[in-house]
Amino acid sequence: YATGNNAPPSFTLTTAQPNIPVMGGGSAHSTWIKSLLDKGPLTLRVTTNQYVNPMGTNVIGIRHAVGDPDGTKAPIVMVGAHIDSVLGAPGAHDDASGNGVSLEIARVLSQYPLDKELRIGGFGGEEGGLLGARAYVNTLTAAEKARFVGEWQMDMVGTPYEPARLWALTPNGQSNYVVQEAYNAGARVGFDGLRNCRLGQSDHQAFFDVGIPSSLFIWLDYRPPAPPAVCGPTGGTYVTEPQYHKPTDTMDNISPERLQVTLDVVGGAVAHNALNAVTVSA
Ligand code: PHE
Ligand code: ZN
Ligand code: ZN
Ligand code: ZN
């Protein structure tokens, strides 16, 4: 979520696949679409002005803890990423990268019994102002909120942009349990590149606002204020990679190595907190 004008470019999409199956079969609408597709190559021109998505959808995966089949009492470990992108940007980095690491965490943990409840959040409407995440935290009861261990948010976790580093950014610039567990997980695999400073602007803000420990994990050219105020309440400035919110935000500009580091740090922290099947020192 970036403040200011995100006006996307208009673009033209051309497809030459006349045999795309049309779902629904009988309705007049789908028959009409199919008749257009059957004519051959189709050019669709989309032009917009400022785009704010009022109708996002959240996709939330939940695995209950062993010993809490109804999911009413176990502590909750949540990872999150946003499933929308700005119009005109494919969103490979922002934020398919975060969802990719989320799903890999879910896949790996599917092989183990869980000691805590695991929730995988795919939030909609982030770019329109954290709409999906704010709607989600509004659905939580007080008792449910109290069960949260924390929320590890991943948004833009694999750019090869050289000046970018892995940051744990919190809305108040202070470390918390979520940040500390990420540091601990990094230390277990010999990664000491994680730094903590201040920033909202992603779904972790919605959890912070209702008192749930959270942090944004992001590969970003983030510039903290100069010492002695290394971070502090005002935080720093940042420069995004050249592909940010552009049509060039594609898989060509994703670094598997940085995704792996993110998985080691965030996935390591989440696994350490969610599993009882694996014993990890520290
Ligand atoms: N969700 C933010 C965005 O999509 C992530 C971000 C935060 C990007 C801070 C840049 C700086 O735009
Ligand atoms: Zn974005
Ligand atoms: Zn984003
Ligand atoms: Zn720990």
Q: Quick one: pLDDT at residue 26? A: 42
Residue 60 identity: I
- pTM for this prediction: 0.82
Reading the block at residue 60, the tokens are: 């939330």
Ligand nearest to the CA of 216: 1
275 DSSP assignment: B
| 28-46: pLDDT as tens digits | 545 655 676 677 665 655 4
pLDDT attached to residue 91:
96
Cα–Cα distance measured from residue 73 to residue 76, given in angstroms and rounded to the nearest whole number: 9
For the Cβ of 202 lying below 6 angstroms from any atom of ligand 1, the answer is yes
In this structure, the residue with its CA closest to atom 7 of ligand 1 is 201
CA-proximal residue: ligand 1, atom 3 (nearest): 1
What is the residue extent of each domain of the chain?
A: 11-46, 59-274
In angstroms, what is the span from residue 153 Cα to ligand 1's centroid? 12
Which SS3 state, helix, strand or coil, does residue 271 take?
A: helix
* Ligand 1 pocket, residue 161 CB under 6 Å: no
94 Cβ below 6 A of ligand 1: yes
The predicted model gives 150-156 an average pLDDT of: 98
Half-sphere exposure of 81 (CA within 13 A, CB side): 28
Q: What is the pLDDT of residue 18?
A: 37
Distance CA 216, CA 167 (A): 8
Ligand 2 midpoint to CA 237 (Å): 16
pLDDT tens, position by position, 186-198: 999 999 999 999 9
pLDDT tens digits, one per residue of 257-271 = 999 999 999 999 999
- In the chain, pLDDT over 90 holds for what percent of residues? 70
Average pLDDT over residues 102-111: 94
Predicted local confidence at residue 44, as pLDDT: 57
Q: What is the ipTM of this complex?
A: 0.95
Angstrom distances, CA of residue 138 to CA of 57, 173, 238: 14, 24, 30
Cα within 13 Å of Cα(90), Cβ side: 13
The contacts of residue 240 (CB under 8 Å, 6+ apart) are 220, 221
Atom of ligand 1 nearest to the CA of 94: 4
Output the pLDDT for position 6. Answer: 41
Atom number of ligand 1 nearest to Cα 126: 1
Three-state DSSP class for residue 268: helix
Supply the CATH classification number for the domain 59-274. Answer: 3.40.630.10
What is the whole-number distance in angstroms between the Cα of residue 172 and the centre of ligand 3? 19
Q: How many A from CA of 170 to the centre of ligand 2? A: 17
Alpha carbon of 109 to ligand 3 centroid (Å): 25
CB-proximal residues (5 Å) to ion ligand 2: 94
Neighbours of 14 (CB within 10 A): 9
Which pLDDT score, from 0 to 100, does residue 4 have? 38
Encode pLDDT of 199-237 as tens digits.
999 999 999 999 999 999 999 999 999 888 889 788 999
pLDDT in tens, 133-150: 999 999 999 999 999 999
What is the chain's mean pLDDT, rounded? Answer: 85
